[in-house]
């Protein structure tokens, strides 16, 4: 007799799927199931590269700032060709 502890999830259809190790392949076994409710897993806070807490609001602010910077540094289409030509001279 071998005791195993597995974690699984019972779907909305009420079906519990257990995947057993390969050593039990093509073998007759008797199974005893003990069901224990697990506490809901808390979402761990996420932090950005600067150690600040990442929230939906902070992400939206970062995206807005990136869009603003993109507009500020955008090149006029007519200035690109002269820049390329200037670069070729070197």
| pLDDT, tens digit, 9 for 90 and up, residues 58-79 | 899 999 999 999 888 877 778 8
**Residue 16 in 3-state DSSP?**
strand
Q: Is 18 in contact with 6 (CB distance < 8 Å)?
A: yes
Who contacts 49 (Cβ-Cβ below 8 Å, separation ≥6)?
none
16: which strand partners?
10
Give residue limits of the domains in the chain: 22-88
Tell me the per-residue pLDDT of 19-55, one tens digit each, with 9 for 90 and over. 888 888 898 988 888 888 888 777 788 888 888 889 8
CA dist 43 and 56 (Å) reads 14
CA dist 52 and 31 (Å) reads 48
**pTM exceeding the 0.85 threshold for the entire prediction:** no
44 DSSP 8-state letter:
P
39 DSSP 8-state letter:
P
């Amino acid at each position: 007799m071998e005791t195993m502890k597995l974690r699984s999830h019972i779907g909305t259809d009420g079906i519990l799927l257990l995947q057993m190790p390969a050593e039990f392949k093509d073998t007759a076994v008797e199974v005893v199931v003990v069901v224990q409710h697990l506490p809901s897993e808390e979402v761990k806070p996420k932090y950005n590269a600067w150690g600040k807490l990442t929230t939906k609001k902070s992400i939206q602010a970062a995206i807005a700032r990136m869009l603003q910077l993109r507009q500020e540094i955008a090149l006029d289409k007519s200035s690109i060709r002269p820049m390329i030509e200037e670069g070729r001279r070197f």
